[in-house]
Amino acid sequence: MAAGISGLVKIRSIWLAVDQSTVRPVKPQRPIRAYNGAMVIETFPVGLLQCNCTLAADTEHGEAIVIDPGDDIQRIHRRLTELGVTLRQIIITHAHIDHVGGALQLKRLTGAPILMHADDMPLLRMMEVQAGWLGVPTPETAPPDESLRESMVVGLTRYPATVLHTPGHTPGSVCLHFGTQKLLVAGDTLFAGTIGRTDLPGGNPQQILASIHNKLMLLPDQTRVLAGHGAETTLEREKATNPFLQRR
Ligand SMILES: [Zn+2]
Ligand SMILES: [Zn+2]
């Protein structure tokens, strides 16, 4: 399917879209250097839908994880090489094509296992359909090496993250909470000013609100949120201003 710039913008808006705040440009390659200087967190948009891929690395111990390598795998691989780190895990927040599309390619390049919640297996199996929604070639995928579960600890030895199962955008959506760093990688569950869409297969509007209220909103207010698309935010800001989170 031929698509000009306006066509691409349209596809992206339709895909993301509850409001325009999700399509604000993202500052590329914005590293957050945390605490003792050895943890590097870099979030950068990849692919047609500009999914925010996050690379977390412990440069002293030489290990890293990559969250949501939807596309641009050569670039991600190059960055791992530049940092001199070994990839330990490839973590998928949910099985939408823009988040999982490059996972198998990255696994082949690095040998790192892929971790994803099993409840998104039906979505992973319909990759051809997902590619059809966007008019892009179907990326090759494979079942994850391990299933993510609620409260599971993943990530780096010195900088672990806890898995929060947050269904609603998809049945197997997860967020990753780096407690010490007060950092949440939110996938497509929570965005700056909006929440994930729930009209795609497996989406559930009641579930996403329950996930956000019962899990994410219990985390400290100062928690920094790296959303699956668009600008970063904080839980405090979203509690105060996100129209979807105002309790009546
Ligand atoms: Zn999604
Ligand atoms: Zn997405």
CATH 3.60.15.10 fits 28-245, yes or no: yes
Report which of 41, 28, 31 is spatially closest to residue 67, judged by C-alpha positions: 41
pTM: 0.88
Provide the CA 160 distance to its chain's centre, in angstroms.
Answer: 16
Report which of 44, 43, 91 is spatially closest to residue 65, judged by C-alpha positions: 91
Neighbours of ion ligand 2 (CB under 5 A): 98, 188, 228
Yes or no: say if 228 and 188 are a contact pair by the CB < 8 Å rule.
yes
Per-residue model confidence as pLDDT tens digits over 77-92? 999 999 999 999 999 9
- The closest ligand to the CA of 71 turns out to be 2
Q: Is the model's pLDDT at 141 over the cut of 90?
A: yes
- The closest ligand to the CA of 94 turns out to be 1
CA of 170 from ligand 1 middle (Å) equals 7
Average pLDDT (208-220) is 97
Per-residue model confidence as pLDDT tens digits over 11-57? 554 454 433 334 444 444 455 555 456 789 999 999 989 999 999 99
Kindly list the domain boundaries of the chain, sorted by start residue.
Answer: 28-245
CA of 78 from ligand 1 middle (Å) equals 25
